Amino acid sequence: MRWPAPSTVRWAMLVVLLALWEFVPTTGVIPELFLPALSKTLYVLWVDKHIYFAALLVTLYEVALSMLIACGLGILVGAVVGGLAVLRNLLLPIFSSLYAVPIVILYPIFTAWFGIGSQSKIAFAGIYGFFPVMLSTAAGIRTIDPQFVLAARSMGATLPQLITRVIIPASVPTVFAGLRLGGALTIIGVVVAEMLTASAGIGYLVTLNRTILDSPRVFAGILAILVLSIAYYMLARALESRMVVWQSAGKQTRAASRDAQVAVAAPAAA
């Protein structure tokens, strides 16, 4: 018997999940307070579409600006720290350990400094996403194959040429991995910040509706964030695979062979 392709199974799982979401609550096994049906959630989303759309715009605006901070600052600082041995030895251990700190603990300070408006969300999420971008940029630059640099020098490359033609393209794959993670963290940062202290945004709507026990509207907010994150992830992947043809090609063959191994192992386990 042939096993269906993994992507088919994934789509089937999604359909089953959505079907369960729709039909389990209607049977009355789970009270609506815990899990309102999918149709009900979509219905309130439709009824309140102006409210949710406005909130989504606020969230998107905050995410966009904090991503700009995280990526811009992360790449800049990462390049300098990764490129200069002195700074690397001095700062990298500090940054690495700061990355492990739950930065959300600092959010009350951010609201004290920047108020409860968008600024505090942008600053907080920007710093939240900054660390992975900065660390992977530093790693990307530090781990470039020295043969590339040597070869380019032997061909007469000047220092600016070395940086633009060799070091930057060679570090793109590692930097991109950091950007994807950093971007995802800024979304988390913005939503968490909105849920804690805010007056607008999807996170704020979720907290507001939870306090008045309006479950369908809570789930509508969750759904909106879910769609936003998945859209972001797919966009990042598409961008990455376009930019890094040479890297993703290698990854795909590895992933394919891994899938093949899983497929071989699965019937044996069954």
Partner 1 sequence: MQHVANLSDVRGRVGEAAIEVDRVSHVYAGPEGGVPALQDISMSVGVGRFVVIVGPSGCGKTSLLMMMAGLRHQTEGRILCYGRPIPNPDPERVGVIFQEASLFPWLSTLDNIEFPLSLRGTPREERRRRSQAMLSLVGLDGFGARYPHELSGGMKQRVSIARGLVQDPPVLLMDEPFAALDEQTRMTMGHELLRIWSTTKKTVVFITHSLTEAVYLADEVLVMSARPGRIIDHIQVTLPRPRTYEMMATDVFGRLRDRIWQQIRKAD
- Residue 157 sits in the site that holds partner 1 (CB under 8 A): yes
Tokens of 136: 């992977």
- Cα-to-chain-centroid distance, residue 130: 12
Instruction: Using CB atoms within 10 Å of the CB of residue 123, give its burial: 0 to 12 exposed, 13 to 18 middle, 19+ buried.
Output: buried
- Residue 241 sits in the site that holds partner 1 (CB under 8 A): no
Which residues touch 229 (CB under 8 Å, ≥6 apart)? 184, 187
Please report how close the Cβ of residue 170 comes to partner 1 at its closest, in angstroms: 7
Q: Quick one: angle between helices 168-196 and 49-83, nearest 10?
A: 140
CA distances, 130 to each of 107, 198, 235 (Å): 15, 22, 19
Nearer Cβ to partner 1 (59/174): 174
Q: Which stretch binds partner 1 (CB under 8 A): 69-77, 82-90, 209-217, 241-249?
A: 241-249
Q: Which residue among 1, 86, 105, 245 contacts partner 1 (CB under 8 A)?
A: 245
User: What distance in Å separates the CA atoms of residue 129 and residue 53, rounded to the nearest whole number?
Assistant: 25
- Residue 255 sits in the site that holds partner 1 (CB under 8 A): no
Amino acid identity of 122? Answer: I
**What track of x and - describes contact with partner 1 for positions 101 through 140 (by CB under 8 A)?**
----------------------------------------
- Cα-to-chain-centroid distance, residue 28: 36
**What track of x and - describes contact with partner 1 for positions 14 through 53 (by CB under 8 A)?**
----------------------------------------
Instruction: Using CB atoms within 10 Å of the CB of residue 206, give its burial: 0 to 12 exposed, 13 to 18 middle, 19+ buried.
Output: buried
User: What distance in Å separates the CA atoms of residue 86 and residue 4, rounded to the nearest whole number?
Assistant: 54
Q: Which residue among 169, 188, 229, 232 contacts partner 1 (CB under 8 A)?
A: 169
Q: Which stretch binds partner 1 (CB under 8 A): 39-47, 128-136, 156-164, 185-193?
A: 156-164
Nearer Cβ to partner 1 (34/246): 246
Q: Which residue among 13, 145, 254, 259 contacts partner 1 (CB under 8 A)?
A: 145
Q: Which residues bind partner 1 (CB under 8 A)?
A: 145, 147-148, 150-158, 161, 165-166, 169-170, 172, 244-247, 249-250
